[in-house]
């Protein structure tokens, strides 16, 4: 394990180091902490946490005086941001690297596949015909990449991921384990009391810098494309149906389900277990609270909650009113 010095870390984040320089073994939460590990003191925490932590390298804000503790400090403008930049730079790969450094001998790769430089492909992964894998792409073990799919530079496909035919994954996308991209959607028509699944000949396009959590399903479009916009972050166990269009820099928490052909604008936040029915439009900068059911389209900047989802402040007022109903009934008996 390669160790990094406290002074090197301070230089990386352009911080001021105060105290002893020593080799750092890793990063850890402030409480309980660990000797020779780095932690950070959030702006909303006080010095009492420094009494309790075992960590002896602490990233703190340069807006507060140096505490009188036998520890080493790195002073920066934004402790949380700097700390996680440090973790990503020096410690991330130690605990979150599911990739080979090369192409595993058990991978099954079509002769028509185009592979860029410094690509890694894990054991038992299947790469179908006419796939294009650009530079610095990493694909874990037991994955399936369908015919005609293109995976662009720097993307990470974690183990046990299934990507169907003709999918476009742009630069620096991360797809976590167990996710399925491009399966048939739930497009059903009735014919003489028989349910028939309509053909889905579209695809899925995932733009740059998207992160998709574990166990997600993103269905292919019927004719055009299902789209995940640039910079969007999707938690685990999320379902995105056929023809959905998601804008840029959206946040979609776990167990959300978005019905077919609905459209989300940019900077939309959906809390955990939100349901969005099909064919809606959710405007830019909307926020939908957890466990809400969106049953109608939302204007830009809407903040909603509840089942069905309504204006959040109105929902809070109604909650207060409903809580007083038993008392009102007693008074009117």
Q: State yes or no: is 312 an active-site residue.
A: no
Q: Which residues share a beta bridge with 252?
A: 234, 270
Segment 225-284, tens digit of pLDDT: 999 999 999 999 999 999 999 999 999 999 999 999 999 999 999 999 999 999 999 999
Instruction: State whether residue 23 is helix, strand or coil.
Output: strand
The answer to whether the beta carbons of residues 22 and 5 sit under 8 Å apart is: yes
Active site residue: 92, 200, 239, 242, which one? 242
* Domains of the chain from N-terminus onward: 4-95 (3.40.1390.10), 108-315 (2.160.10.10)
- pLDDT of the chain along its 333 residues, tens only? 678 999 999 999 999 999 999 999 999 999 999 999 999 998 766 778 888 899 999 999 988 887 777 899 999 999 999 999 999 999 877 666 667 779 999 999 999 999 999 999 999 999 999 999 999 999 999 999 999 999 999 999 999 999 999 999 999 999 999 999 999 999 999 998 899 999 999 999 999 999 999 999 999 999 999 999 999 999 999 999 999 999 999 999 999 999 999 999 999 999 999 999 999 999 999 999 999 999 999 999 999 999 999 999 999 999 898 888 888 777 776
- DSSP code per residue over 142-190: T-EE-TT-EE-TT-EE-TT-EE-TT-EE-TT-EE-TT-EEEE----EEE
* CA pseudo-torsion sign 231, 254, 29, 37: negative
Q: How far apart are CA 207 and CA 52, in angstroms?
A: 44
Neighbours of 307 (CB within 10 A): 12
| pTM for the whole structure | 0.87
* Residue 296 CB neighbours (<10 A): 11
| Nearest of 35, 75, 83, 84 to residue 55 by alpha carbon | 35
Assigned token pair, 100: 């080979």
Q: How far apart are CA 265 and CA 288, in angstroms?
A: 13
Q: What is the pLDDT of residue 49?
A: 85
Q: d(Cα 255, Cα 257) in Å, to the nearest integer?
A: 6
Residue by residue, DSSP assigns 29-60 as -TTT--TTEEEE--TT--THHHHH---SEEEE
Distances (CA, A) of 316 to 293, 295, 322: 16, 19, 10
Residue 280 DSSP symbol: -
Looking at residue 94, its pLDDT comes to 60
For 233, how many CA atoms within 13 A lie in the half-sphere containing its CB? Answer: 5
- 49: β partners: none
**What tokens does 269 get?**
């936040």
Question: What percent of the residues of the chain are helix, what percent strand, and what percent coil, each to the nearest 5?
Answer: 15, 30, 55
């Amino acid at each position: 394990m390669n160790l990094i010095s406290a002074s090197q870390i301070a230089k990386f984040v352009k911080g001021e180091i105060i105290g002893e320089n020593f080799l750092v073994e890793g990063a850890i939460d402030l409480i309980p902490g660990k000797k020779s590990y780095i932690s950070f003191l959030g702006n909303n925490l006080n010095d009492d946490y420094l009494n309790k932590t075992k960590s002896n390298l602490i990233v703190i804000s340069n807006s507060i005086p140096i505490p009188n503790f036998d520890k080493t400090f790195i002073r920066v403008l934004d402790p949380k941001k700097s700390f996680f930049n440090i973790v990503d730079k020096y410690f991330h790969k130690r605990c979150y690297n599911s990739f080979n450094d090369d192409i595993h001998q058990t991978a099954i790769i079509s002769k028509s596949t185009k592979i860029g430089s410094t690509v890694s492909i894990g054991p038992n992964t299947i790469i179908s015909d006419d796939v294009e894998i650009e530079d610095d792409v990493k694909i874990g073990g037991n994955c399936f990449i369908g015919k005609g799919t293109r995976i662009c530079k720097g993307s990470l496909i974690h183990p046990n991921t299934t990507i169907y035919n003709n999918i476009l994954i742009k630069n620096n996308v991360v797809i976590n384990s167990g996710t399925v991209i491009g399966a048939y959607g739930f497009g059903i028509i009735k014919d003489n009391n028989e349910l028939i699944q309509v053909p889905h000949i579209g695809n899925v396009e995932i733009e740059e810098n998207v992160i998709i959590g574990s166990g997600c399903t993103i269905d292919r479009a019927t004719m055009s494309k299902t789209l995940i916009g640039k910079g969007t972050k999707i938690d685990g166990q999320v379902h995105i149906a056929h023809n959905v269009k998601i804008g840029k820099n959206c946040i979609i928490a776990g167990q959300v389900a978005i019905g077919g052909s609905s459209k989300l604008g940019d900077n939309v936040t959906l809390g955990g277990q939100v349901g969005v029915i099909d064919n809606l439009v959710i405007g830019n900068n909307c926020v939908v609270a957890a466990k809400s059911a969106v049953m109608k389209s939302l204007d830009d900047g809407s903040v909603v909650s509840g089942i069905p989802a309504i204006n959040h402040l109105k929902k809070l007022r109604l909650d207060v009113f409903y809580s007083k109903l038993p008392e009102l009934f007693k008074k009117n008996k």
